[in-house]
Amino acid sequence: MKRPPLRGSSAQAGFTLAEVLIAVAILGLVAASIIWGLSQLNFYATSSRLTTAAQTLAQNQIDLLLTKGPFNPQLSPPDYPTPNVLQTGAAGAPYTYYSDPVTGTISGSPITVPIYTDPTTNQQVVTGTIATTNKNASFAVGGTGLNVVQSTVVVSYIFRSRTYNVIMNTMRTSDQ
């Protein structure tokens, strides 16, 4: 029967160098995984914030298309001209225009819109463009013509060298 070493004996307790290195390596892997996970979480949060901002811009344009009036293209001559935001091209061809969401200015060429502005520096970090395309989608039901305008709003922006598009569609019929 072997006896346990006494206090003053030469046997030493502790960790070997290999055990310490393995423990440090495992802690390093855990730390690297946590940092990578937080980085991915930050990327997805930023991407979601930008998508929400682009959806808000598109929805504001859709709201403008649905509320601008009066829209009575069937009247000859019309009582009121068709609002600019509901114009279609000649013979019902698609008509694309760009509108500034702040000033309401309508242009035939792309307008840069802010997608995200840094709240501390007031600097536009991500910008994009907004385009609206209207086309005549009128048809007849039982001999009665329905005046319909189909609108598509596209908000495009670039984030981390990748292009993102938010597309929303709506249809509007005549007010009367």
Please tell me the least confidently modeled range out of 36-45, 55-64, 78-87.
78-87
Q: What is the pLDDT of residues 61-96, one digit of tens each?
A: 888 888 877 777 676 655 555 566 677 766 666 777
Tokens 């319909």 locate to 148
For residue 73, being part of any structural domain is answered with yes
| Count of domains observed in the chain | 1
109 phi/psi in degrees, rounded to 5: -120, 155
For residue 144, being part of any structural domain is answered with yes
Average pLDDT for 133-147: 79
For residue 67, being part of any structural domain is answered with yes
Q: How many CB atoms lie within 10 A of CB 164?
A: 17
For residue 68, being part of any structural domain is answered with yes
For residue 155, being part of any structural domain is answered with yes
136 phi/psi in degrees, rounded to 5: -75, 120
The pLDDT mean for the chain works out to: 83
pLDDT band at 114 (very low <50, low <70, confident <90, very high): confident
Identify the pLDDT of residue 108.
75
Rounded CA-CA distance 169/105 in Å is: 21
Instruction: Classify the C-alpha dihedral 47-49-50-56 as positive or negative.
Output: positive
Rounded CA-CA distance 63/44 in Å is: 28
Beta bridge partners of 141: 144
Cβ atoms 85, 66 nearer than 8 A:
no
Identify the pLDDT of residue 66.
86
Would you call 113 exposed, middle or buried from its count of C-beta atoms within 10 A (0-12, 13-18, 19+)? Answer: buried
Cβ atoms 157, 54 nearer than 8 A:
yes
Range of the domain at 59: 21-173
Instruction: Classify the C-alpha dihedral 137-141-143-147 as positive or negative.
Output: negative
Model pTM above 0.75: no
Q: Is the pLDDT of residue 171 over 80?
A: yes
Identify the pLDDT of residue 144.
74
For residue 13, being part of any structural domain is answered with no
Please tell me the least confidently modeled range out of 66-80, 107-121, 134-148.
66-80
Please choose, from the candidates 46, 42, 87, the residue with its C-alpha nearest in 3D space to the C-alpha of residue 68. 87
